[in-house]
Structure 1
Amino acid sequence: MYTFCPPIDDFDVFKEAKEQNFFESLESITALCIHLQELMTTIEDLEENQLKNEFFKLLQISLWGNKCDLSLSGGETSSQKTNIINTLEDLKPFILVNDMEHLWSLLSNCKKTREKVSVTRVDIVLDNSGFELVTDLVLADFLLFSNLATEIHFYGKMIPWFVSDTTIHDFNWVIEQVKHCDHKWVSKCGVDWENYVKMGKWVYHDHIFWTGPHEFCAMFHVAPDLYAELQKAHLILFKGDLNYRKLTGDRKWEFTVPFHRALNGFHPAPLCSIRTLKAEIQVGLRPGQGEQLTASEPNWLTTGKYGIFQFDGPL
């Protein structure tokens, strides 16, 4: 049983910093929303391989958006100053585990069998607000518009907690800011996102488990209602470093330990960690890969320079 004490029960000490991150990233947010709207005008003409490439592009944008973390920057500005779309090719070598093909295979198969399975649900366990949240919303919009998913369920923090973590206030605030942007195509994104929420195509959840001390393998027993909700998803995307630490129990695993084993029985649905590395834990690497990185860059685990798409589910 948890209780919250007014008048500070909804006070967010990080609110100003999160909003500053959004406004300082506005140029990049504008470019990203324009890209999405341009993509939507041509999406019916795209061949399957082209659609897959666009999906991969937006996944990578969501990954590198995870760099914008106020906990990593010590409260200093962590905004996205450049058009992230133009940097994706240069950043590819820094993706240490790349299971994007598995995500495409899963969702495209769901799309092809939509007559049998009328709903394809993707759940996104959010990390940071500001620019990163916008990258997640753009990805979610693409999933709906491309018919790779029919419902998106978002999970945020119930209380202001870990620096730039997303709460329901941040979720609604970002949509409202995008909706009132001066650029008509950016504004259209905000209008669409608001409508998705009203129509039930986007659903926001919060749960006290996300701010508790438990690793995720304890969820089945500690928060069975949340575990049952996640089981309804066809795919769960876990954003960010803290979610990865809780997925793997924050243990000092050997680099080559399989991701499936490190999850320690946590398998509500097929899942993928989308994370830039900011903590001293990483599993599922090739033999020698971690040691080679340590020799050349001793701090590679904590700088946010490297990223992963690490999938667990039927292949």
Structure 2
Amino acid sequence: MQENIPEPLSAKNKSSFAYFTIRDRLPVILSKVADTVYRKKTFVKDIHGEDATEELKFIAGCISKLRNELQTNKPLVPLKDNGPDTEVWNLSLAELTQREGGEPKWFVSPWLYVECYMYRRIQEAIAQCTILHNLDPFEEQKKKAFTDSEEATEVLLHYLRQISEKAASASDDDKEEYLREFLQIALWGNRCDLSISASQENSQTESILDQLHHLEPNILVNDTKQVLNCLRSNVKDRAIDIVLDNAGFELVTDLCLAEVLLMCGWADCIRMHGKAMPWFVSDVTSSDFEWTLDSLFKSSRPSMAYFGELWRQRLEKKSWMFTVEDFWTIPYDFAKMKTSSSSLYERFKDSKIVFFKGDLNYRKLLGDLDWNPTTPFEVTLRGFHPAPLCALRTCKADLIAGLAAGQKETVEKYDKNWMLNGNWAVISFCGKSNQ
């Protein structure tokens, strides 16, 4: 379709964030998984017996082996479990082997592929267990990220409650201002990412509302006006999709965005999409989603409890929906959705707009390719146009699109780590739709 497609980002470039990630960050994450598994030994034995303890040993052994393979740049090997996506993964590995003319390796093959492969190998170890096949090795960290952010969550939800009480009588201008604000709240909520911090503590302890004015100049691409035009002009489609990223405080900000979209009449149904397995440490699974709503519902903090109850009702009445798809955890970028998950692509076609949250989704939108930063966002999508879409992403990887000429150089003068530290962001919109 296009002749000048750039090369995938990879650890072959030793000055890249891909190299740093594979050399330093991923081994730390694997070590923490092994440590988490080891610390569960007594608890698991008391609940499930000796057989479960043996399964923990098996998982820990698999993780140790995986870490060694990564650090010594061994070839990637086919999966051995019986998961619904195993065949797709092994086919993709065979395709990659053919493209590269040899066995794919950690420090040579595309960064996006090998990083996703690592998390799928963690799941492979767990999936081969009989008793512990539902284990989430990142569960404790995700729950802690939520509980450590409770004060900021209550402040945010108290503000949302004030808005909701006057939304019915609000003017169109007021409703658009609410959306502008909560788009930015959801955007900056994306800074709370446990995989980027190698699963170190990363919660929201300050009110995000107090930070918005200070952070707005750091939005390098701000297509909010185009998003509003899309919502105003499309009166036929009444569903909006949000492809989620992280659990914890970020999920709360996404739920707030969903609430604003619904209460201001932009949509009748919000469809939220999570991961089918533990992924990139902090990504939202169905268990995380349910636990978060339950924690809000049971909270002693009034606004948290209020929205916990309201959002349960939204799910029961199906004005909110939460779904998982295997596509989000297979190794293909989004340009391949139409052929790899045609049913998901078709569902998106009746969406008013699809919001993609976070860095991993942004990387998959762009194919994790080494684009010139001034390449138009639409070009980097490489034909992925099921519906109008908007990426809400704080920068945590060294790729970006849609910048103005000279903008990259200007930002670098202020912050040499601007592409990696989560302090800069984009709200990137593409209105093209292949209906």
Instruction: Report the TM-score, using the length of structure 2 for normalisation.
Output: 0.69
Specify the code of the residue in structure 2 equivalent to 1:39.
I
Matched letter for residue 2 of structure 1: D
Query: Deviations for 1:231-271, whole angstroms, at most 9, x for unmatched residues?
Result: 12110000000100010010110011011110001111000
The 10-residue stretch of structure 1 (96-105 or 121-130) with the greater mean CA deviation from structure 2: 96-105
* Count of residues paired in the alignment: 309
Show the counterpart of 1:209. Answer: 327
| Structure 1 residue 53: Cα displacement | 1.1
Q: What is the correspondence of 1:90-239 to structure 2 with a 5 Å cutoff?
A: 90-110=214-234, 113=235, 117=236, 120-239=238-357
Q: Does 1:71 align with 2:195?
A: yes
For the residue of structure 2 that corresponds to 1:45, the secondary structure is coil
Deviations 1:130-158 (A, max 9, x none): 00000000110111111111100011100
Distance of 1:142 and 1:54 partners within structure 2: 7
Counterpart-to-counterpart distance in 1, 2:276 and 2:174: 38
Q: Distance in 2 between matches of 1:304 and 1:184?
A: 31
AA partner of residue 215 (structure 2)? L
Worse-matched range after superposition: 230-239 or 290-299: 290-299
Does the aligned pair in 1 maintain the 2:385–2:432 contact within 8 Å? Answer: no
Deviations 1:153-209 (A, max 9, x none): 011100112100000000111011111111233211011111111111111111111
How far the C-alpha of 1:46 sits from its partner, in A, is 2.2
Per mean C-alpha deviation after superposition, the further-off stretch among 200-209 and 181-190 is 181-190
Q: Which amino acid aligns with 1:272?
A: C
Quote the Cα distance in structure 1 between the aligned partners of 2:212 and 2:85.
Answer: 43
Distance 1:298 1:185, change over 3 A: closer
Alignment root-mean-square deviation, CA = 1.5
The two structures have a TM-score, normalised by structure 1, of 0.95
Shift of 1:78: 0.8
1:46 to 161, 166, 170: 170
How many Å separate the matches in 1 of 2:192 and 2:429?
Answer: 23
* % same residue: 38
What do the CA deviations read for 1:102-154 (whole angstroms, capped 9, x no partner)?
A: 111211334xx4xxx3x511100000000000000011011111111110001
Larger radius of gyration: 2
Question: C-alpha separation between the residues in 1 aligned to 2:202 and 2:288?
Answer: 17
Corresponding residue SS for 2:228:
helix
**Mapped contact 1:10–1:160 kept (Cα < 8 A):** no
> In 1, Cα distance between the equivalents of 2:366 and 2:295?
35
Contact 1:153 1:205 in 2 (8 A): yes
Mean Cα deviation higher: 33-42 or 3-12 = 3-12
Runs of 5+ in structure 2 lacking a partner? 1-83, 87-126
Give the whole-Å Cα distance in 1 for the aligned partners of 2:200 and 2:207: 20
Could you list the per-position Cα deviations for residues 19-41 of structure 1 after superposition, in whole angstroms to 9, with x for gaps in the alignment? 00000000010011111111111
User: Once the 2 structures are TM-superposed, how far is the Cα of residue 314 of structure 1 from its aligned partner?
Assistant: 4.8
* Structure 2 CA distance for aligned equivalents of residues 296 and 87 of structure 1: 19
Secondary structure at the aligned position of 2:142 is classed as: helix
Report the 3-state secondary structure (helix = DSSP H, G, I; strand = E; otherwise coil) of the residue aligned with 2:167: helix
Tell me the distance in 2 between the aligned counterparts of 1:138 and 1:263: 27
Cα distance in 1 between the residues matched to 2:226 and 2:414: 30
State the shift of 1:275 in Å: 0.3
1:249: which partner in 2? 367
How far apart are the structure 2 equivalents of 1:287 and 1:311?
18
Match of 2:153 among 8, 29, 32: 29
3-state SS of paired residue (1:96)? strand
C-alpha separation in 1, matches of 2:387 and 2:430 = 9
Could you report, residue by residue, the CA deviation over 1:199-224 in whole angstroms, capped at 9, with x for unpaired residues?
11111111111111111101111111
Match of 1:287 in 2: 405
Q: Residue 291 of structure 1: CA displacement? A: 2.2
The question of 1:303 aligning with 2:421 is answered: yes
Partner of 1:60: 184
Q: Name the amino acid aligned to 2:241.
A: D
Bigger relative CO (Cα 8 Å, ≥ 6 apart): 1
Q: Which moved more, 1:302-311 or 1:183-192?
A: 183-192
Matched, 1:17 2:141: yes
The aligned counterpart of 1:80 is 204
Q: Which runs of 5+ in 1 are unaligned?
A: none
